[in-house]
Amino acid sequence: MAALLLGLGILAGAEIGHLLSLQVEGQSFATCWPPAGLLLAALILSPYRMWPICLAAACVANLVSDVLIHDKTVQVSLGFCLANCGEACIGAWALRHVIGFQGTLARATDVLWFAGVTCLLSSTIGASVGAGVVTLAYNADYWHSWLTWWSTDAVSVLVVTPVVLACTTKDAFTGMNGRRVVEAITLFASMAILTEAVYGEFLPRPLMVPIFVLPFLLWAAFRFGPAGAATAILVVASIGLWNNSHGKGPYAALATEPTQAVIRGQATLSVLSLVVLSLAALVAERQEAERQKNQVIDKLEQALGEIKTLRGLIPLCAWCKKIRDDAGTWKRLEDYLLAHTDAQLSHGICPDCLKKELTE
Q: What is the mean pLDDT of the chain?
A: 85
Domain count, the chain: 2
Looking at the structure, tell me whether residues 47 and 139 fall in a common domain. Answer: yes
Q: Are residues 73 and 19 in the same domain?
A: yes
**Same domain as 327, residue 290:** no
pLDDT of residue 273: 92
What was the pLDDT predicted at 94? 92
Range of the domain at 335: 323-359
The reply to whether 313 falls in a domain is no
pLDDT digits (tens, 9 = 90+) for 292-349: 988 888 888 776 665 555 556 677 777 777 777 777 788 877 777 777 666 676 767 7
Does 52 share its domain with 148?
Answer: yes
Residues 201 and 339 in one domain: no
Based on the fold, state whether residues 346 and 197 are members of the same structural domain: no
Whether residue 302 lies inside any domain: the answer is no
Cα 37 to Cα 69, 80, 332: the distances in Å are 21, 15, 76
Residue 315 domain-assigned? no
In a domain, 311, yes or no: no
Residue 49 predicted with pLDDT over 80: yes
Task: Tell me: do 257 and 355 sit in the same domain.
Answer: no
260 and 196, same structural domain?
A: yes
38 and 156 belong to one structural domain: yes
Residues 217 and 353 occupy one common structural domain: no
Residue 303 belongs to some domain of the structure: no
pTM over 0.75: yes
What are 182-238's pLDDT values in tens digits? 999 999 999 999 999 998 888 888 888 888 999 999 999 999 888 899 999 999 999
Residues 343 and 269 in one domain: no
* 304 in a structural domain: no
Span 144-189, pLDDT tens digits:
889 889 999 999 999 999 999 888 877 666 667 888 889 999 999 9
Judgement on whether residues 329 and 195 belong to the same structural domain of the protein: no
